[in-house]
């Protein structure tokens, strides 16, 4: 998705981190050129999971790098256990000054813009959101994009290591919102469903998306109500 950094920075106030289809198609092969221009390449392994960190930014804060690595090893195994035990065991981070987005995940690669961390050094749980996209691995045509991003922000909310340090939280409900707004707005709705309607709902929704069995009937089949009926009930009592 070709959005410039300024537009992405504005959107990030709403939790925006993108899944790029381009990375999903050939993410692994693209890292060959990244390695050629890297300042450093570090390979870390804990248990069955391996993280390769390709840093192309000479002035990138190494303390932030360490925090990103730590969060990967804290949350990626948890995400895999809870949502997709067959997720890939090797992941590549690329810190890329030439990338004008914030972060994009797919094909085993997460590409970050180091300029984002200069302005937002506390936003380390962007890793939690992006690694969830790798765990999701939804096929084309799996379902609506608002569900994809809503689940990723739900996982950031429930698993985030330091959301407070990033001043990141779920927004209060407003009448102007819709469940299709994606990101944190959808995440809050999903959290409400988990708390008030169906424990384990998000896990089932994630599985339906990955198996390409999701339809609009999913909501009623699992809660007894359509998504619109659930949203109407949520609007009347949105407290979480």
DSSP string, 101-158: SSEEEETTEEEE-HHHHHH-TT-TTHHHHHHHHHHH-PPTTSS-HHHHHHHHHHHHHH
Helix (H, G, I), strand (E, B) or coil at 88: coil
- 3-class SS shares of the chain: helix, strand, coil, % to 5: 50, 10, 35
pLDDT at residue 31, rounded to an integer: 85
Q: What is the per-residue pLDDT for 30?
A: 66
| CATH 3.30.2010.30 fits domain 5-136 | yes
Tokens read off for 40: 């450093």
Which part of the chain has CATH 3.30.2010.30?
Answer: 5-136
Distances (CA, A) of 1 to 21, 28, 70, 136, 152: 8, 18, 28, 19, 18
The per-residue pLDDT string of the chain (240 residues; one tens digit each, 9 = 90 and over) reads 333 333 333 333 333 444 433 334 445 456 889 999 999 999 999 999 999 999 999 999 999 999 999 999 999 999 999 999 999 999 999 999 999 999 999 999 999 999 999 999 999 999 999 999 999 999 999 999 999 999 999 999 999 999 999 999 999 999 999 999 999 999 999 999 999 999 999 999 999 999 999 999 999 999 999 999 999 999 999 999
Q: What pLDDT does residue 29 have?
A: 54
Residue pair 168/15 in contact by the 8 Å Cβ criterion = yes
| Amino acid 2: pLDDT | 31
Tallying the residues shown for the chain, one arrives at 240
This prediction's pTM: 0.88
């Amino acid at each position: 998705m070709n959005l410039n950094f300024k537009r992405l920075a504005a959107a990030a106030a709403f939790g925006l981190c993108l899944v790029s289809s381009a990375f999903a198609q050939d993410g692994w092969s693209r890292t060959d050129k990244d390695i050629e221009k890297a300042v450093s390449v570090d390979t870390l392994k804990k248990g069955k999971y391996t993280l390769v960190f390709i840093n192309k930014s000479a002035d990138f804060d190494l303390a932030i790098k360490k925090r990103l690595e730590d969060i990967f090893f804290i949350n990626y195994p948890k995400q895999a256990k809870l949502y997709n035990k067959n997720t890939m065991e090797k992941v590549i981070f690329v810190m890329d000054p030439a990338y004008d987005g914030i972060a994009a995940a797919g094909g085993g690669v997460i590409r970050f813009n180091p300029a984002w961390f200069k302005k937002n050094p506390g936003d380390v749980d962007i890793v939690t959101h992006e690694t969830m996209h790798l765990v999701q691995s939804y096929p084309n045509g799996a379902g609506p994009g608002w569900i994809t991003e809503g689940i990723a922000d739900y996982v950031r909310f429930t698993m985030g290591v330091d959301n407070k340090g990033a001043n990141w939280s779920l927004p209060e409900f407003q009448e102007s919102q819709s469940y299709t707004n994606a990101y944190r707005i959808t995440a809050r709705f999903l959290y409400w469903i988990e708390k008030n309607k169906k424990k384990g709902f998000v896990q089932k929704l994630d599985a339906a998306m990955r198996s390409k069995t999701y339809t609009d009937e999913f909501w009623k089949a699992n809660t007894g109500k359509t998504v619109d009926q659930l949203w109407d009930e949520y609007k009347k009592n949105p407290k979480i």
